[in-house]
Amino acid sequence: MSRPRLPDPPPMRTDDVRIAAAGTAAWAVALVVLLIVGLPSGERWWLWVCVAGIVIGLFGMWYIPRLQAGRARLEETHSAGTGPKAEADAGDVDDPVRPEAR
């Protein structure tokens, strides 16, 4: 006899911008260290790896708040009972991708 499954825990709230900022700072420190230490001419590509990490981190710090705001708006729309998901769950539209929505 198997035990009943426990309900899923709620999603954990994290500060994703802070995580992206920490990664960006780490790439910046690595770039400074490489500039101080100096690299042979054949190994200069490591500098560009650090620059790419910094640029991607800055993009993430810009994009993450917009992504979270969009997800919050979408969740608010779904919880209010409007939007495409609520219409599909109403039974008037069959979703071939999600048969459980019928």
Instruction: Report the C-alpha gap between 50 and 39 in whole angstroms.
Output: 13
CA 36 to chain centre: 33
Q: By the 8 A CB rule, do 6 and 50 touch?
A: no
* Residue whose token pair is 């900022």: 21
Segments of the chain scoring below 70 in pLDDT: 82-102
Instruction: Report the C-alpha gap between 102 and 100 in whole angstroms.
Output: 5
Instruction: Report the C-alpha gap between 37 and 9 in whole angstroms.
Output: 48
pTM higher than 0.85 = no
- Type of residue found at 51: V
